[in-house]
Amino acid sequence: MPQSAIFGPFFATMLLTFAVWAFMFARRIRWITAKQISPVELAIPGRLAELSPASISNPSDNLKNLFELPVLFYAVCLYLFATQQVDGAYVTAGWIFAGFRTLHSAVHCTFNRVMVRFYMYLVAALALWFMIGRAALAHFAASPAA
């Protein structure tokens, strides 16, 4: 398996972040313009969150989520590539992570059923923890004893 195969899910997750950012930006600007809210009003910390309905705030919350566990995903992908450990199991787990994070974002940014969203998050998180755990075990197994 080519080591670069890990960059498929890596860039898919980055593109997901861009898509959520663009969706959030478009919805937010349209809503602020329609409500004729002053930029001065929005300069108050937390004011936009107070004023906006869930359909406007959920994409923003989802964007913040994409800078939590995905940061670990990016790190483990780079580690695997740098140490030449990429194999089919890691690539499959990476695609599971990227796919279920995409489903999670789709649910969060639209109809937002919390339990549906939770299960999407859980599957993605388990795939990531598998990747991290397996990489850590391989690292420590290969390291000389102290």
Secondary structure of 70-133 in the HEC alphabet?
Answer: HHHHHHHHHHHHHCCCCCHHHHHHHHHHHHHHHHHHHHHHCCCCHHHHHHHHHHHHHHHHHHHH
pLDDT value, residue 143? 80
From first to last of the 146 residues of the chain, give the pLDDT tens digit.
999 999 999 999 999 999 999 999 999 999 999 999 998 988 999 899 899 999 999 999 999 999 999 999 999 999 999 999 999 999 999 999 999 999 999 999 999 999 999 999 999 999 999 999 999 999 999 987 65
Q: How many residues does the chain have?
A: 146
pLDDT value, residue 144? 78
What domains lie within the chain, and their CATH numbers? 3-142 (1.20.120.550)
